[in-house]
């Protein structure tokens, strides 16, 4: 088992900073790897491109996935993750600003493990991140790798 | 016999002409319409046979007075017998008189059709008028008429095609607008919220991490920034729900308004357990409506009623219905703060309010949503209010009815 790596797929630098802050506020341990678009997320997961040196067996414990991303959308990234047997069981939490039902439905039918709408109020955001962390990192039994 | 018209049944056009003239004369003389049609058909059948066999046949139309009544005559020369004339006598009183060839002339059959015109009315002027009417239907004029109608028809067709194209264009435009609306509300929901989250998050970070560096005024400013951010987030959400109201498909079915109102009131009571609110709901009010839209309407109207009565003890709220101008109006009435009727028409605009946020919280989207939800269903909404007395909002739907 690798240490708890959380892969944060997020293009907005403010959201990256705030998410990291929310993790710190919740005293969540583990390494957070930030990738800035959908293509980079796949490169990281499958140890390709800029991440070719990475051991592909070191998979993150959790992927936090924004939907609106440059290059490949979050939905597309999710589909690739689910259709590759190496990552088919990886826990993916969609973390998005979108309040559109269509996004919620597409995420779940694409195989997302949960869907969190990022609230504007930062205190609520910290709470949402805390719940995601508690459930997916502390309580949830990891699938066999 | 001094004929009013005489037609050689030698061309297709002549058949059309003869047919038309027989019918015109029969009509003008007040013969039974079916009799006129029957004779006209016989004439064109005879003519068709004559053209086929290349025999010369002439149709002559004339009028004769018999015992104070006018008889219409159609003489077909060159014809010796008319098998189809059997039965016409019994049905329309039409007589057929055959004459064999006399003096080297041609055999003929004369059809005599009774009419309702008194013989006294048939004078020279009458005959002249009738002759003129029959001349109007000469082959040239007929042709012209057909051509004119053709032109008319093709311009109608063109118009139809234009309309069809215009409609298709409009449909495409609408589709584009809808798609734009989709992507607009998507970016409203996504792109507009992201920066707000940053403003709020970093504002809070300043308050938390730089507490010592900020004096009370600085902190107050930051708190205002955060409050404004929260308000903006709410405005965005409200705007979105307003646009969603027009985007979502409608499903019309039977909706139990009374039960819906009960449910909503129960939720509202739960939200404000300390309050003393008298609610009266007329049972059994039903409508053919979209359930989701109707729920939105009642949530907002009852929500307003609860909100604007918060200084009343007891607050009184009623949901009922009344018939005005033959239409059933559902109404939500309260004894709350009320409003100045001068501005009644403003209430339904988006973000329009008649009270300050200090007095009553809100963004002013509720009634705009109500109006849109009702208009979408083909209904109408009205507001009545009096400062210090209360308010009453009434709405009707396209096809209201009371059930039991
Ligand atoms: N029952 C009522 N009694 C008195 N005033 C009312 C009532 N309902 C509506 N109004 C007036 O109409 C305005 C618009 O109502 P609307 O429901 O659109 O907005 P709101 O209730 O202020 O805010 P929101 O519904 O967005 O929370 C209100 O601000 C208020 O001034
Ligand atoms: Mg309201």
**pLDDT per residue over B275-329, tens digit each?**
999 999 999 999 999 998 999 999 999 999 999 999 999 999 999 999 988 899 9
Q: Predicted confidence band at B1 (pLDDT cuts at 50, 70, 90)?
A: low
Does residue A144 sit within a domain?
no
Q: Predicted confidence band at B103 (pLDDT cuts at 50, 70, 90)?
A: low
Residue with tokens 């189809």: B84
B159 has pLDDT over 60: yes
Q: Which among A21, A98, A125 has the least Cβ separation from residue B189? A: A98
Residues of B in contact with A12 (CB under 8 A): 194, 198
Residue nearest atom 13 of ligand 1, based on CA coordinates: B353
Q: Predicted confidence band at A141 (pLDDT cuts at 50, 70, 90)?
A: low
pLDDT at position A144: 63
Residue A35, H or E segment: strand A31-35
Least confident of B155-164, B252-261, B357-366, B394-403: B394-403
B229 and chain A in contact, CB less than 8 A = yes
B112 has pLDDT over 70: yes
pLDDT at position A143: 64
Domain that holds residue A80: 5-135
d(CA B26, CA B37): 9
Residues of B in contact with A119 (CB under 8 A): 197
Q: Tell me, in angstroms, the distance from the centre of ligand 1 to residue B364's CA.
A: 6
A47 has pLDDT over 70: yes
Q: Predicted confidence band at A4 (pLDDT cuts at 50, 70, 90)?
A: confident
Note if the bond before B174 is cis, omega within 30 degrees.
Answer: no
pLDDT at position B266: 94
In DSSP terms, B110 is beta-bridged to B75, B97
Compute the nearest-CA separation of B206 from chain A (Å): 12
Interval A23-44 mean pLDDT: 90
Residue of B nearest to A102 (CA): B186
Number of domains in chain A: 1
Does residue A70 sit within a domain?
yes
Interface test with A, best of B179, B182, B190, B202 (most A CBs within 10 A): B190
d(CA B394, CA A51): 65
Angle at B356 between CA B351 and CA B358, to 5 degrees: 130
Return the DSSP state at B276. Answer: -
A12 and chain B in contact, CB less than 8 A = yes
B249 has pLDDT over 50: yes
A20 and chain B in contact, CB less than 8 A = no
Through-space distance between the first and last CA atoms of chain B, rounded to whole angstroms: 79
Return the DSSP state at A137. Answer: I
Put simply, the chain B residues between 238 and 257 with a CB less than 8 A from any chain A CB are: 240
Per residue in B114-158, pLDDT (tens digit) is 999 998 888 889 888 888 888 866 667 777 777 777 887 888 898
Per residue in A77-134, pLDDT (tens digit) is 999 999 999 999 999 999 998 877 888 999 999 999 999 989 889 999 999 988 888 8
Q: Which among B185, B186, B197 has the least Cβ separation from residue A125? A: B197
pLDDT at position B136: 66
Of all residues in chain B, what percent carry a pLDDT higher than 70? 95
A1 has pLDDT over 70: no
pLDDT at position A2: 40
Q: Which among A68, A123, A125 has the least Cβ separation from residue B190? A: A68
Does residue A143 sit within a domain?
no
A118 and chain B in contact, CB less than 8 A = yes
Closest of A33, A7, A27, A14 to residue A126, by C-alpha: A27
Cβ–Cβ gap B197/A99 under 8 Å: no
Say if CB B70 and CB B115 are below 8 A apart: yes
Interval B154-174 mean pLDDT: 88
Does residue A87 sit within a domain?
yes
Of all residues in chain A, what percent carry a pLDDT higher than 90? 61
Interval B175-182 mean pLDDT: 78
Residue with tokens 């059959």: B109
Nearest-atom index, ligand 1, CA of B354: 31
CATH of the domain at A12: 3.40.50.2300
Mean pLDDT of chain B: 88
B156 and chain A in contact, CB less than 8 A = no
B404 has pLDDT over 50: no
Residue nearest atom 19 of ligand 1, based on CA coordinates: B364
pLDDT at position B155: 85
User: How are beta strands B58-66 and B95-99 bridged, if at all?
Assistant: unpaired
Cβ–Cβ gap A118/B202 under 8 Å: no
Per residue in B31-88, pLDDT (tens digit) is 988 888 889 888 988 999 999 999 899 999 999 988 888 999 999 999 887 877 777 7
B113 has pLDDT over 80: yes
pLDDT at position A29: 77
Q: CB-based burial of residue B83 (10 Å sphere; 0-12 exposed, 13-18 middle, 19+ buried)?
A: exposed
Compute the nearest-CA separation of A35 from chain B (Å): 18
pTM: 0.58
Interval B193-217 mean pLDDT: 92
Interface predicted TM-score (ipTM):
0.79
d(CA A107, CA A85): 19
Residue of B nearest to A99 (CA): B189
Domains and CATH numbers, chain B: 5-137 (3.30.565.10), 192-244 (no CATH), 252-402 (3.30.565.10)
Q: CB-based burial of residue A135 (10 Å sphere; 0-12 exposed, 13-18 middle, 19+ buried)?
A: middle
Put simply, the chain B residues between 184 and 213 with a CB less than 8 A from any chain A CB are: 185-186, 189-191, 193-198, 200-205
Q: For B31-86, where are the alpha helices, taking DSSP H only?
A: 33-53
Count of A-B CB contacts under 8 Å = 60
Compute the nearest-CA separation of A86 from chain B (Å): 31
d(CA A37, CA A76): 11
Residues sharing a CB contact under 8 Å with residue B61, sequence separation 6 or more, in sequence order: B3, B4, B5, B6, B21, B22, B25, B72, B73, B74, B134
Does residue A49 sit within a domain?
yes
Q: Predicted confidence band at B332 (pLDDT cuts at 50, 70, 90)?
A: very high
B99 has pLDDT over 60: yes
Q: Tell me, in angstroms, the distance from the centre of ligand 2 to residue B366's CA.
A: 4
Residue B355 beta carbon below 6 angstroms from any ligand 1 atom: yes
Say if CB B374 and CB B388 are below 8 A apart: no
Residue B319, H or E segment: strand B315-324
* Of B244 and B367, the one with more pLDDT: B367
Q: Is the Cα dihedral B118, B120, B123, B125 positive or negative? A: negative
Residue with tokens 């790897």: A33
Through-space distance between the first and last CA atoms of chain A, rounded to whole angstroms: 8
Does residue A38 sit within a domain?
yes
Cβ–Cβ gap B197/A14 under 8 Å: yes
pLDDT at position A70: 84
Interval B180-208 mean pLDDT: 85
Does residue A118 sit within a domain?
yes
Does residue A32 sit within a domain?
yes
pLDDT at position A3: 56
Q: Where are the beta strands (DSSP E) in B67-173?
A: 69-77, 95-99, 108-118
């Amino acid at each position: 088992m690798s240490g708890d790596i959380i892969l944060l797929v997020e293009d907005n630098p403010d959201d990256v900073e705030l998410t990291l802050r929310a993790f710190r506020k919740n005293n969540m341990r583990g390494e957070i790897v930030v990738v800035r678009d959908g293509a980079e997320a796949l490169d990281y997961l499958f140890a390709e491109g800029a991440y070719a040196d990475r051991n592909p067996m070191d998979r993150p414990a959790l992927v936090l996935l924004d939907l609106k991303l440059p290059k490949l959308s979050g939905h597309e990234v999710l589909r690739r993750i689910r259709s590759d047997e190496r990552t088919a069981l990886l826990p993916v939490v969609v973390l998005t600003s979108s309040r559109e039902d269509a996004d919620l439905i597409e995420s779940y039918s694409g195989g997302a493990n949960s869907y969190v709408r990022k609230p504007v109020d930062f205190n609520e955001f910290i709470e949402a991140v805390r719940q995601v962390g508690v459930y997916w990192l502390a309580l949830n039994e990891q699938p066999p790798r | 016999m001094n004929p009013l018209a005489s037609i050689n049944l030698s061309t297709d056009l002549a058949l059309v002409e003869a047919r038309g003239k027989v019918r015109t004369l029969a009509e003008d003389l007040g013969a039974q319409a079916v009799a006129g049609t029957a004779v006209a058909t016989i004439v064109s059948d005879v003519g068709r046979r004559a053209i086929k066999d290349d025999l010369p046949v002439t149709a002559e139309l004339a009028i004769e007075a018999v015992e104070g009544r006018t008889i219409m005559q159609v003489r077909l020369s060159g014809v010796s017998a008319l098998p189809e004339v059997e039965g016409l006598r019994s049905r329309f009183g039409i007589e057929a008189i055959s004459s064999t060839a006399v003096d080297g002339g041609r055999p003929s059959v004369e059809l005599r059709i009774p009419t309702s015109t008194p013989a006294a009315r048939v004078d020279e002027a009458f005959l002249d008028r009738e002759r003129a009417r029959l001349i109007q239907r000469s082959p040239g004029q007929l042709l012209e008429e057909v051509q004119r109608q053709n032109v008319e028809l093709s311009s109608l067709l063109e118009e139809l095609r234009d309309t069809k194209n215009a409609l298709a264009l409009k449909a495409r435009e609408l589709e584009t607008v809808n798609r734009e609306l989709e992507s607009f509300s998507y970016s409203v929901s996504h792109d507009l919220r992201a920066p707000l989250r940053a403003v709020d998050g970093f504002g809070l970070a300043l308050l938390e991490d730089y507490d010592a560096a900020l004096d009370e005024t600085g902190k107050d400013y930051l708190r205002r920034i955060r409050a404004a951010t929260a308000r903006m987030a709410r405005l965005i959400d409200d705007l979105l729900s307003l646009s969603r109201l027009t985007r979502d498909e409608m499903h019309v079915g039977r909706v139990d308004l009374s039960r819906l109102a009960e449910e909503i009131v129960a939720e509202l009571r739960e939200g404000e357990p300390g309050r003393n609110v008298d609610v009266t709901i007329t049972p059994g009010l039903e409508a053919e409506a979209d359930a989701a839209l109707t729920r939105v309407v009642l949530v907002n109207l009852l929500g307003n009623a609860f909100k604007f009565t918060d200084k009343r003890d007891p607050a009184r709220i009623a949901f009922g219905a009344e018939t005005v101008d033959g239409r059933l109006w559902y109404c939500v009435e309260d004894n709350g703060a009320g409003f100045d009727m001068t501005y009644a028409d403003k209430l339904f605009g988006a973000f329009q309010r008649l009270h300050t946020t200090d007095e009553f919280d809100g963004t002013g989207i509720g009634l705009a949503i109500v109006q849109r939800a009702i208009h979408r269903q083909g209904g109408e909404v009205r507001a009545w209010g009096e400062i210090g007395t209360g308010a009453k909002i009434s709405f009707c739907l396209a096809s209201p009815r009371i059930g039991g």
